[in-house]
Chain A
C-alpha cells in the first residue's frame, strides 16, 4: 500500500507544496501565516467529515459538535486541571471520539435525512448545554487565554505543529481510506443491501467510520485551541457544521483532497474578502451559485472525482 502511495502521480506535487509550506513562515507576513494555519485546521476538520460523508455516504450534518467537544475538552483540561498539557492534547480527540460513539451509535439506527436530523437535535442538545453552563464551560463567553507549551507560544511554532499534525493525520486517513475497511465502507455506501447480503455489518462499519472521523474532528479542535487559545459555543453551533458540509460539497465530496480545496477557498474568501468588505458571504454565495449551475461541473463540486456515484439520489 505504501508503494502504491509513493508511486501516485500526486506524490511530487504534494512534496513540492509541503516544501513550500515549510519554508513559508519566515518569508510571509504574519497575517498570511495565521490564515494558512487556520486553513490547515479547517481542512483537517473538513477531511474528517468527508470520511463519513464522501466515503461512508452518511449525512453527518452536525460534525461541528465533535470539533467543539475536542476543543472544549482540551481547553477545560488546560485551564481547570494541573495535568501535563500533552494529556489534554490527547484527551481532546479521545473525548470527541467517545462522543462520536454515543451520538453515532444512536444515529446509525436511522438513515439519510432522518439520521441527519437526529444528529442535529443531539448535537444541538450539547450546544445548548455548553451555551448555558456558565460555571463549567463559561457559557456564551467561552474560555479565553488558554495556556500552551512554550514551543507553541509563537505563531511560527503553532504553524509548524499544526502542519505536522495535519500531514500525519492526512497520511493516516489515506491509509484508512485505502484499507480493506475503507473499501468495505465505500461498498456499503454504494449498495447497502448487497453488502448486508454478503455478510457485511453495514451499521457497524458506519459506526466505526463515525468514531474515526470524530476522532480527527477532535484533533482539529485541539489544533484550533493551539492556534486561537480560546473556545466559544459557536464551535458547536449547527451553522459551522453546515459550513464545513458545504466545504466538502464545494471541493468535491468523492475525492480525497477535494474537501481541503473547499476549506481553503471558504477560509481564504472569508479572510481576504472579509478585510475589504463585510459582505463577504454575498460574494461567496455569488460564487457558489454559478458553480452549482454549471452543467460541466456535473453537480459534484469544483473537483469532480472519478468515483462520482451518488447512486442513491434521494433524501429519503
Chain B
C-alpha cells in the first residue's frame, strides 16, 4: 500500500474502530498496572506475564468446555487463575519487600517474570495457540462499508464497563477508599488501625486480575504465544506514564493515544506501523513530562 492511497473514509473508519478496540485491551491491562503502581508503588514487570497467563488459561478453559460456554467461563476463570497466582506471590514473597530500595523491587519483579514465563512454558508448551470466539461474535459486521469483526464490538463494550467498575471500586467502596489513602500515606493509614498489608495484597490481586481479564479478552483476536508478554508490558508502562502515574483515566487516555496513533500510523506509513505510537509517547513526555492527567501523588 502506497502512502496516502488508503485514505478513504471507510479505511479511516475501520482503522479507527480497530484502534479503539485494541485500546480497550491495553486500557484494561494498564489500568491494573497503574492501580498497582499507585497503591503499592511497585513497578510490576511481571504484569505482562500475568496477562499471558490469562490468555493461556482462557485457551485451556475454552478447549475444555467448548467455544460457546467456555468463552464466557474463561472471562471469569482466567482472571481467577491469575488472582490466585498473584495472591500466592504477594503473600509468600512480595509482602516482605515493600521497604526495599525501589530498584531492588524491579529486580524482584523481573525475576518473577522469568519464573512465570517458564512456568507457562512448562504448563502450555511453546506452540502457538488460538481461541475461537463464541458463535454470535464470529464473522464481521459492515460499518461505513468496510467489514468490522463482531468480536471487537464486545471489546468496545468491555473497556468502558471495566473502567466504570474500577471507578466504582476505587471511589465508592471502603477498600477503594483505604487503598487511595494508603497510596498517599501508608504509615498514617496503618496508624489508624487498618491492616495495610492486606490492603496491599487486595490491591495487588485486583490489579493482576485486570491483567488476566485483558489476556482472556485478547485471546480470540491474537495467536497466543510465549512472547506476547514482552510487547504488552512495555506498552502498558508507557501508557501509565503518559497518562499520569496511578490515574485510571490517564490509563484510558494513554491507551487511546497509543493505539489510535498506531492505527493511523499504519494507514499513513504502512512500512513502519510501530514507529508512530512511540513517537507519540516521546512528544507527550516532552510536552507534559509528568503525564497528561494528574498523577495520584
Q: Which residues of A contact B (CB under 8 A)?
A: 106, 109-110, 113-114, 117-118, 120-122, 124-125, 128-129, 131-133, 237-239, 242, 245-246, 249-250, 253, 278-279, 281-282, 284-286, 288-289, 292-293, 299-300, 310, 313-316
Per-residue interface assignment for chain B, residues 253 to 293, with 1 indicating a CB less than 8 Å from any chain A CB and 0 otherwise: 00000000000000000011111001101100110011000
* Residues B234 and A238 in contact, CB atoms below 8 Å apart: yes
B166 CB → nearest A CB, Å: 22
- Tell me the complex Cα distance, A289–B285, Å: 33
Known A-B contacts A121-B278, A121-B281, A292-B111; the reply to A282 vs B101 at CB < 8 A is no
Point out the residues of chain A lying under 8 angstroms from B97, CB to CB: 292-293
* Residues A242 and B43 in contact, CB atoms below 8 Å apart: no
**Which residue of chain B has the shortest Cβ distance to A280 in the bound complex?**
B118
Point out the residues of chain A lying under 8 angstroms from B192, CB to CB: none
- Tell me the complex Cα distance, A293–B108, Å: 9
- Tell me the complex Cα distance, A122–B286, Å: 11
Point out the residues of chain B lying under 8 angstroms from A133, CB to CB: 271-272
Q: Which of B51-110 contact A (CB under 8 A)?
A: 93, 96-97, 100-104, 106-108, 110
B194 part of interface (Cβ distance < 8 Å): no
B101 touches which of A106, A242, A284, A313 (Cβ 8 Å): A313
* Residues B45 and A131 in contact, CB atoms below 8 Å apart: no
Which residue, of B41, B118, B241, B273, has the highest number of chain A Cβ atoms within 10 A? B118
- Tell me the complex Cα distance, A109–B272, Å: 28
Known A-B contacts A313-B102, A316-B297; the reply to A125 vs B115 at CB < 8 A is no
Q: Which residues of B contact A (CB under 8 A)?
A: 41, 43, 45, 93, 96-97, 100-104, 106-108, 110-115, 117-119, 121-122, 230, 234, 237-238, 241, 245, 271-275, 278-279, 281-282, 285-286, 289-290, 297
Point out the residues of chain A lying under 8 angstroms from B112, CB to CB: 285, 289
A102 CB → nearest B CB, Å: 12
Point out the residues of chain B lying under 8 angstroms from A242, CB to CB: 45, 110
20 further A-B pairs in the complex, CB-CB below 8 A; given A117-B285, A125-B279, A133-B272: A110-B289, A117-B281, A118-B282, A120-B237, A121-B238, A125-B275, A125-B282, A128-B275, A128-B278, A279-B121, A281-B117, A282-B119, A288-B107, A288-B114, A289-B93, A292-B104, A299-B100, A300-B104, A315-B43, A316-B297
Point out the residues of chain B lying under 8 angstroms from A131, CB to CB: 274
* Residues B281 and A285 in contact, CB atoms below 8 Å apart: no
Q: 17 interchain pairs (CB within 8 A)?
A: A106-B286, A114-B289, A117-B285, A120-B234, A120-B237, A124-B234, A128-B274, A129-B272, A132-B275, A284-B111, A285-B111, A285-B113, A292-B111, A293-B93, A293-B97, A313-B102, A315-B43
- Tell me the complex Cα distance, A113–B297, Å: 14
A154 CB → nearest B CB, Å: 35
**Which residue of chain B has the shortest Cβ distance to A295 in the bound complex?**
B96
- Tell me the complex Cα distance, A155–B200, Å: 53
- Tell me the complex Cα distance, A246–B273, Å: 30
- Tell me the complex Cα distance, A124–B113, Å: 20
Point out the residues of chain A lying under 8 angstroms from B110, CB to CB: 242, 246, 288
- Tell me the complex Cα distance, A114–B242, Å: 9
* Residues A113 and B241 in contact, CB atoms below 8 Å apart: yes
* Residues B107 and A246 in contact, CB atoms below 8 Å apart: yes
Point out the residues of chain B lying under 8 angstroms from A132, CB to CB: 271-275
* Residues B115 and A285 in contact, CB atoms below 8 Å apart: yes
**Which residue of chain B has the shortest Cβ distance to A311 in the bound complex?**
B101
B94 CB → nearest A CB, Å: 10
**Which residue of chain B has the shortest Cβ distance to A106 in the bound complex?**
B286
* Residues B282 and A289 in contact, CB atoms below 8 Å apart: no
* Residues A114 and B115 in contact, CB atoms below 8 Å apart: no
Sort A-B residue pairs by CB-CB distance and give the 6 closest, nearest first. Answer: A285-B114, A282-B118, A288-B111, A285-B115, A281-B114, A121-B281
* Residues B118 and A129 in contact, CB atoms below 8 Å apart: no
**Which residue of chain A has the shortest Cβ distance to B102 in the bound complex?**
A315
- Tell me the complex Cα distance, A282–B290, Å: 36
* Residues A110 and B272 in contact, CB atoms below 8 Å apart: no
Point out the residues of chain B lying under 8 angstroms from A288, CB to CB: 107-108, 110-111, 114
**Which residue of chain B has the shortest Cβ distance to A107 in the bound complex?**
B285
Point out the residues of chain A lying under 8 angstroms from B274, CB to CB: 128, 131-132
B232 CB → nearest A CB, Å: 12
Point out the residues of chain A lying under 8 angstroms from B117, CB to CB: 281
* Residues B118 and A114 in contact, CB atoms below 8 Å apart: no
B275 touches which of A109, A129, A246, A279 (Cβ 8 Å): A129
* Residues B122 and A279 in contact, CB atoms below 8 Å apart: yes
* Residues A114 and B241 in contact, CB atoms below 8 Å apart: yes
A64 CB → nearest B CB, Å: 13
B186 CB → nearest A CB, Å: 13
Point out the residues of chain A lying under 8 angstroms from B106, CB to CB: 245, 249
